[in-house]
Structure 1
Amino acid sequence: MTDKQLLERISQKDEEAFRMLYDRYRRLFFGWVLSRLNDEDASCDLTQEFWISVWTAPEKIQCDDTGSAKNWLLRHISFGIMDYIRIQCKRLEITDEMLIEQKIRVMAYTHVQEDINFLELQQLIDDILRNLPPLIRKVYELRCVRNFSAKETAKVLGIAESTVYNNLSSALICLRNELTLQYTTNDSGKLKILLPILLLLLN
């Protein structure tokens, strides 16, 4: 059953359909949030609010030509991440709040929401990671893609937890540097929108 069909049933308050959609994406969406916030409690709260919004307003969710809502849902939950970052910056009085506000406003335009495809975001990251040393790449995969804890990652790879943290830091620094370079040199309008979002989420 496609996402579109499930959403139609959810609009009629079909709990089974909601459970099916939830089971389809819960790991992906929670992992997406957790890998960007690095805060399990905040990630749980944000994803819970996200799923409540799916239940209460399924008619707002847009599907692609194949009936999939994944990209729209990823955009929606990413906007929630942006809101969380903005609130945290205000609470902590972060000095670069103006920059973050600028990124949030960029994401707010409807035509941008329609254009962004998060498969492109992942492709950008994959291209960069492909050129990194194997250990750094594996640590990033386990921590940020498969959502392993630092302890689990260390056990799987047979390395110290401190090595996990160091390699993950190296991966994120490399990603930020490469994405910054692409942002300053690429003429694609779509990438000019995508790259600042990636850079913010990798901070």
Structure 2
Amino acid sequence: MYRSDQDLLLAIYDNKDEKAFKVFYDRYAKLLLNWATKRTGNRDLAEDIVQNFWVIFWSKSHAIKTDDFGVSRTYLIHYFTYRMLDYLRTSASKFLGSEFVLESMANEDGYLHIIEDIQVKDMLDMIDRVLIDFPTLTQDIFKSIWEHNLSVKDTSKSFGVSEKVVRTHYKKVLSVIQDQTKTFIGTQSKSFKLFLEIIILVGLLK
């Protein structure tokens, strides 16, 4: 009945269609849980973050955009990451403990302002422009790790190359992206360091 993420999102937002929500949830729940677990290092915390996100999603599904093919995966991950950062500032998350990789972000003044100023579409467009200048294999390796959230090991098996080759190709792209991101926030070292911490969370660095 529903052939694209776009169809599902419209049904959820316009009609509060619970069946559409279930289809969308089944499609992405595991991905988001794995994403949060990998970045927080805490499964229980990740489950709370994801549960909180789906509550927000139910009332704000219009915030999730789709690409030209009606797929929301990339935008969903980015939006989820921002909401994850918001959650980590709450007393509920702190009650669970602070031994997770994102804890330092809660102490950075103004980081939410920087995040909200970063337009996801601008970031994605910039990455696309960077990738065009690289060979096909390099592009595919980068997309496998960043866009599809595969590990270096799994990417290595997928392309039949060594993990060292995967890391080399990935770092080539990443180096250019890091240079390009300076245009978003300026070149002051403190701000750039903060931005690098943020893009770790949105999946550019692993």
The gaps in structure 2 that reach 5 residues or longer are 1-6, 188-193
In the other structure, the counterpart of 1:188 is: none
Query: Aligned-pair distance for 1:19?
Result: 0.7
How do 1:115-194 residues align onto structure 2 when only pairs under 5 Å count? 118-181=120-183, 183-184=185-186
Say whether residues 1:7 and 2:13 are aligned partners: yes
CA contact (8 A) 1:150 1:161 kept: yes
Query: Aligned-pair distance for 1:198?
Result: 7.6
Query: CA distance change for structure 1 residues 46 and 166 in 2, over 3 Å: closer, same or farther?
Result: farther
Aligned length: 178
CA contact (8 A) 2:105 2:111 kept: no
Query: CA distance change for structure 1 residues 146 and 132 in 2, over 3 Å: closer, same or farther?
Result: same
**RMSD, matched Cα:** 4.7
Q: Distance in 1 between matches of 2:146 and 2:33?
A: 8
Counterpart amino acid of 1:155? K
Say whether residues 1:21 and 2:24 are aligned partners: yes
Query: CA distance change for structure 1 residues 45 and 98 in 2, over 3 Å: closer, same or farther?
Result: closer
In the other structure, the counterpart of 1:201 is: 199
Query: CA distance change for structure 1 residues 54 and 119 in 2, over 3 Å: closer, same or farther?
Result: same
Q: Distance in 1 between matches of 2:65 and 2:137?
A: 39
Query: Aligned-pair distance for 1:126?
Result: 0.9
How do 1:108-119 residues align onto structure 2 when only pairs under 5 Å count? 118-119=120-121
Q: Distance in 2 between matches of 1:38 and 1:163?
A: 27
In the other structure, the counterpart of 2:112 is: 104
Task: Give the number of the structure whose residues are more often helix, by fraction.
Answer: 1
Query: CA distance change for structure 1 residues 134 and 17 in 2, over 3 Å: closer, same or farther?
Result: closer
TM-score (norm 2): 0.58
Larger RCO: Structure 1 or Structure 2 (Cα < 8 Å, ≥ 6 residues apart)? 1
CA contact (8 A) 1:61 1:72 kept: no
In the other structure, the counterpart of 2:4 is: none
